[in-house]
Amino acid sequence: MKRAVHAEFPDYSLRYTHPHLCDTGTKQTSGYFELPNGKNFFFWFFESNADPADDPTLLWINGGPGCSSMMGLFMGIGPCHVNTRGDGLLLNSHSWNQVANVIYLDQPVNSGYSYQENNTAAHIGDSNTAAQDVYVFLQLFFKEFSQFSESDFHIAGESYAGHFLPAIATVITEKNAETPHAPIQLKSLLIGNGLTDPLQQYKYYKSMACEKSAYGTLVSSSEKCNEIELHQNECQKLIESCYKNSNITTSSSFFTQKSADTCLLASKVCNALVVRPILDGMKLNMYDIREKCQNGPLCYDYLDAVKTYLDRPEVKNALGVRSSVSFELCTPSVNMDFQISGDWMRPYVNQIPPLLNSNISVLAYAGDADFMCNWMGVRAWTINVPWNGHLKYNQQEDIDWYSNAIVAGTIISSESLTFLRLFNAGHMAPYDQPQVTLDMFSRWISGKILQNDDHQLFF
């Protein structure tokens, strides 16, 4: 194992090796970002299959909070999938590594392979605090692997990453302007089926459940739909109170006890009275309403195979993971820390306008078969977010978006902000539509998301 330090962050270090798992002929790096108080964040980095020196670099963050970014690697955009037995890997022909260098980071601590040696140390419970650690990780990473430090940099993720990504981007832009640290070349955010603006997004659970869609109607009882609407109105008032007591604009926004109390109450009531009754009644995969819920974690049997593979001793050894560390797909205690702090309902959408106004582009994409962070709610927050291009964005119409000469979704785009609805995809859109989402990513990072004449790329 090699170790790297940074003079400006003397209490932090990187410890890493170069594994050959999922060997596609390009260089890999995996290991730990070591923090004070015995915290250790696992990361796995794959260089681009095309041109590592010139291709952009992407940081992938999964949600939860508390879910491992190895889910994004093996259930979406990574160079390999796990076989059904969990004892080997299969190449993914639609890996985003075809066009970018990709870092997968397990954060906050205790997610995935990440762990904390000192259990008495304070736990992280909000996305702003979590983002500070990610920023230091990036500083150490780009110092040690300086050949990528001048590359265009993008951050992407799913679900609760709708909180994490604006917070991380806000830290980066503030530090780039304020400090002598090497600037990080942040260009964009890609938020997949993300929870970014609960006030807008929670309005659409009733619509998603009770209105007819291409996938049918989830709740057919008009009486139950009326009951959901009543609870949804109550829910909106509680989220408004949370927003009023949670001023999130900068990376150093401080959350009072009143913020924690009002936001936790909103989370408890809204999830118990609006979301849970719908889920209990529909008996489907909440992340993909086209399918029934399977027996595995998060309704996917495949994730059992992923956990089996990542708990294999030879895999841990190759990645530089201690044998005593157990891999966790999603860690309930991390989720609980964020819930108790009130972070779930806070308006991290307030960090989006300064990013858009400083020409950091945002792509909010949404598989339209997801119930939990459904496309209606994602579209709504992009329409309501108050930035300099707000009026022009709202004048745009939803138009067909093509991939491989097929209508694969609809798109609204103006200047720095884009919303893309992806057809026939759920919460983990790259898992359901790997070819389409690679096309999306390739065109996004090259500034061609609206160009529909590039279909030949994947013929």
- Token digits for 186? 């942040």
Q: Hey, what amino acid is at 140?
A: L
What's CA 306's distance to the chain center, in Å? 18
Please answer whether residues 186 and 59 qualify as being in contact, where contact means their C-beta atoms are separated by less than 8 angstroms: no
- Token digits for 432? 């359901």
Q: Give yes or no: residues 391 and 262 share one domain.
A: no
Q: Give yes or no: residues 145 and 83 share one domain.
A: yes
Residue 154 has pLDDT above 70, yes or no: yes
Rounded Cα gap, residues 410 and 33, in angstroms: 39
**Is 197 among the catalytic positions?**
no
pLDDT-derived band at 254 (thresholds 50, 70, 90) equals: low
CATH assignment of the domain containing 277: 1.10.287
Look at residues 122, 156, 127 and name the one whose alpha carbon lies nearest to residue 66.
127
**Is 81 among the catalytic positions?**
no
User: Length of the chain, please?
Assistant: 459
Please answer whether residues 394 and 405 qualify as being in contact, where contact means their C-beta atoms are separated by less than 8 angstroms: no
Q: What residues form DSSP beta bridges with 454?
A: none
Q: Give yes or no: residues 306 and 250 share one domain.
A: no
The catalytic position among 94, 343, 427, 442 is 427
Tell me the pLDDT tens digit for each residue of 372-387: 999 999 999 999 999 9
The catalytic position among 370, 432, 439, 442 is 370
Task: Confirm whether 455 is domain-assigned.
Answer: no
How many CA atoms, within 13 angstroms, populate the side-chain half-sphere of residue 82? 23
Q: Give yes or no: residues 305 and 324 share one domain.
A: yes
Task: Confirm whether 458 is domain-assigned.
Answer: no
Rounded Cα gap, residues 105 and 48, in angstroms: 17
The catalytic position among 30, 48, 149, 159 is 159
Q: Is 299 helix (H, G, I), strand (E, B) or coil?
A: helix
CATH assignment of the domain containing 318: 3.40.50.1820
Q: Give yes or no: residues 133 and 271 share one domain.
A: no
Tell me the pLDDT tens digit for each residue of 10-21: 999 999 999 999
**Is 20 among the catalytic positions?**
no
pTM recorded for the entire structure = 0.95
Residue 342 has pLDDT above 80, yes or no: yes
Task: Confirm whether 263 is domain-assigned.
Answer: yes
Terminal-to-terminal C-alpha distance of the chain: 42
Rounded Cα gap, residues 100 and 51, in angstroms: 8
Supply the range of the domain harboring residue 216.
Answer: 203-282
Residue 151's region, left for phi above 0, alpha for psi from -120 to 50, else beta, is beta
